[in-house]
Structure 1
Amino acid sequence: MRALVFESFAGPLSVQEVPVPDPAPGGVVVRVAASGICRSDWHAWQGHDADVVLPHVPGHELAGTVEAVGGGIRRWRVGDRVTVPFVNACGRCAQCAAGDHQVCAHQTQPGFTHWGSLAEFVALDAADVNLVAVPEELDLTTAAALGCRYATAFRAVTQIGRVRPGEWVAVHGCGGVGLSAVQIAVAAGARVVAIDVSAAALDLARQLGAEHTVDGGADVPVAVQDLTAGGAHVSLDALGAPVTCGNSLRSLRPRGRHVQVGLLPPEQGRAEVPMERVIALELEVLGSHGMAAHAYPGLLGLIAAGRLDPGRLVTRTLALDESAPALADVGRRPGIAVVTSF
């Protein structure tokens, strides 16, 4: 099969012919119809994830059709249209028993623990636990965006952040997950302040319903507190950088809720958490890590009802041969880029 491969961290990215994977017992192989290019893929390429073994095929945000099934599969057949969360849970550990698949103790992640979906085929583990059926009315390009950024933002806003109508929500970083959070928060009835250094990203955030936008180079906490008359009720670091994490915490009003969504690899510097502010204002500091497959029906129902439209976030479709420069430049163009031709 054809796949995007890197053989050294931060080294050349090239499309190569590599072996097609076989399904593991309980797993499947999916023929990839669409695969998003995400900042997390960039982190894998840069060597920020200890699970990545070279040579490596990145990609974890996918949709396609089941091509082959391993032994013991009960729910899926060849030809089924599917997507999958980026965290593939084992279905057996204590976290899985509690329904917390997104923090499974024995999780696998395509594009990190094994070869990923920027390829014609990808192997996925524990298929009966992790696969999500894609409704016929939802195109596979849009479905690919659900696996990481959109589903992650959905859970971060609605479940972890507990956003309520009328609340102020600050979104720091308007890449794929940040713009998803903007749309989802607006749909939940919140008033949104979007922050980014890119004018194009802020323009797209306004199109998605952000009431105010702030240049990330400004004094962000002061700007957010002025615009919201005292600070955000919920603030999300959707980028994952020491500066955006700090800005998010300092943008909150008393008893506000900070949600860390963007990855913070230690190689890029440790975020400084102002614990004196956390204590004095009784702030909540929360982490959000994807969304379990069993939670997708609620999201899919809102999409089917027209209340959410993740397709608006897909701003580019690419061929696999265009994926190397797109991965290298991830974050420099607003919206979600999806590879649809392999």
Structure 2
Amino acid sequence: MRAVYFEKFRTEPIIAKLPDPSAPADGVVIDVEATGLCRSDWHAWSGHDDTVQLPHVPGHELVGTIADLGSDVENWHVGQRVTTPFVGGCGSCEWCSSGNAQVCPDQTQPGFTHFGSWADKVVVRHADLNLVELPEDLPAEAAFSLGCRFATSFRGLKHRAKVRDGELVAVFGCGGVGLSAVMIARALGARVVAVDINDDALDLAQQHGAEATVNSRELAPDRVATAVIDAVGEAPAVTVEALGLQDTMNAALRSLAPLGRHVQIGLLAEPPVTAVPRIIALELSFLGTHGMAAADYPELVDLVRSGALRPQDLVTRSISLDEVPASLLEMDSGTRPGMTLIRP
């Protein structure tokens, strides 16, 4: 198979020809139809995730077709079109048994714990627990991001923060996962204010449901929260940090109303200094969201099939596998607005 491959962190990957993978007894091999270029892949390439072992093939959100399956797989067959959460559970621990595979201590993650989807083929382990069937008529542009960005935002807003109709949600960082949070919050009936330093990203946020936007490029960190509140005339009930920076996380916490809920999606390369006194004084909730178990996908897939959610509208670029190494290096300077789809 052809794959994006690197042997050292932060060195330019190459397109390599590697042996085709074989299906483990409990897993499958998927022919990759489309995959995504995500900030998490940049973290893996940068050496920020200690689960990544070298050499490595990145890529963790995908749609494809089952090409081979292991002898112990019971619920799937060759030819089915599927996606998978980027966090795969082991299927036997108490967390998987309770429906919380996304926090499984023995989790596997394509593109992190083993070779990922920036390739012609990818392995998904514990397939009976971790696969999600997709309709044949669902465009790849609508399907690939369900494995990471849309699932993570959906769980964070719907199941963790329990966003209610009419509440104000502030989204800090309008890359792919932030824009998915804007779109999902609107689908849940919330009002949205979006924060970013890129006008093009803010334009996309407004196109997909944000009633107000704040460009924080020229604002001191301690002024961002005030600007958010001023933009809509009230403090948000829920904040989402979708970038992974200390300043934006603290700005989000400073903007919250009393009893507010903060959802942290962005991965932080270094331990942050948080606004802990404010968390205590206003009884704020600080919530993590780490993907979503496959069992919880039907509600999300139904929203996409119905047209209430349209992930495909956030795809602003489609590239080939050969273009991925340069695009990954480009992320050192920031992320392009919208989502990038890769077709191997």
Question: What TM-score do the two structures reach when normalised by structure 2?
Answer: 0.96
Q: Match of 1:129? A: 129
CA contact (8 A) 2:33 2:64 kept: yes
Kindly report which structure 2 residues correspond to 1:110-259, keeping only aligned pairs within 5 A, or say none.
110-217=110-217, 218=219, 219-259=223-263
User: Which segment is superposed worse, 272-281 or 91-100?
Assistant: 272-281
In terms of mean alpha carbon deviation, does 180-189 or 330-339 score higher? 330-339
1:137, distance to aligned residue in structure 2 (A)? 2.3
Deviation at 1:142, TM superposition (A): 2.1
SS at match of 2:148: helix
Residue range with higher mean Cα deviation, 28-37 or 270-279: 270-279
Equivalent residue, structure 2, for 1:337:
340
Q: CA deviation at 1:276?
A: 1.2
How far apart in 1 are the matches of 2:225 and 2:76?
A: 49
Letter in 2 for 1:178: G
Counterpart Cα distance in 2 of 1:313 and 1:327: 19
How far off is 1:229 after superposition? Answer: 2.8
Gaps of 5+ in 2: none
Q: Using the alignment, how far apart are the partners of 2:19 and 2:59 within structure 1? A: 16
Which amino acid is 1:336 matched to? Answer: M
User: Structure 1 residue 227: deviation in Å?
Assistant: 2.5
CA distance in 2, matches of 1:69, 1:100: 24
CA shift digits 1:215-256 (9 cap, x unpaired): 122221001122233311000101111111111101101111
Secondary structure at 1:129's aligned position in 2?
helix
Paired amino acid for 2:325:
A
Is 2:314 the partner of 1:310? no
Partner of 2:266: 262
Structure 1 SS opposite 2:337: coil
CA distance in 2, matches of 1:98, 1:13: 39
Say if 1:63 and 1:141, in contact at 8 Å, map to a contact too: no
Structure 1 match to 2:295 = 294
In 2, Cα distance between the equivalents of 1:108 and 1:216? 37
1:96 matched to which residue of 2?
A: 96
Q: How many Å apart are 1:209 and its aligned residue?
A: 1.0
Instruction: Report how many residues are paired.
Output: 338
Q: CA RMSD in A?
A: 1.0
CA drift at 1:167? 0.9
What SS does structure 2 have at the residue aligned with 1:35? strand
CA distance in 1, matches of 2:211, 2:129: 39
2: CA distance between counterparts of 1:140 and 1:192? 27
Deviations 1:135-178 (A, max 9, x none): 12212332111100111111111111211111110000001100
Unaligned runs of 5+ in 1: none
Q: Secondary structure of the residue that 2:55 maps to in structure 1?
A: coil
Shift of 1:91: 0.9
Do the aligned partners of 2:212 and 2:232 also contact (CA within 8 Å) in 1? no
| Whole-angstrom CA distance in 2 between matches of 1:131 and 1:332 | 29
Equivalent position amino acid for 2:168 in 1? W
**Match of 2:277?**
276
**Structure 1 residue 280: deviation in Å?**
1.3
Q: Alpha-carbon deviations, 1:113-143, whole Å to 9, x = none?
A: 0000000000110000000001122123321
> C-alpha distance in 1, partners of 2:2/2:200?
33
CA contact (8 A) 1:168 1:228 kept: no
User: What percent identity do the matched residue pairs reach?
Assistant: 52
Counterpart of 1:60 in structure 2 is 60
For the residues of structure 1 that align with 2:93 and 2:336, how far apart are their CA atoms?
39
Distance in 1 (alpha carbons) for counterparts of 2:102 and 2:280:
28
Read off the aligned partner of 2:85 and give its amino acid letter.
P
- The equivalent of 1:51 in structure 2 is 51
Q: Tell me the distance in 1 between the aligned counterparts of 2:124 and 2:102.
A: 15
CA distance in 1, matches of 2:140, 2:233: 42
Secondary structure in structure 2 of the residue aligned to 1:166: coil
Aligned partners of 2:318 and 2:340 also within 8 Å:
yes
CA displacement, residues 32-89 of structure 1 (integer Å, 9 cap, x when unaligned)? 0001011000000000011111111000001100011011111111111000000011
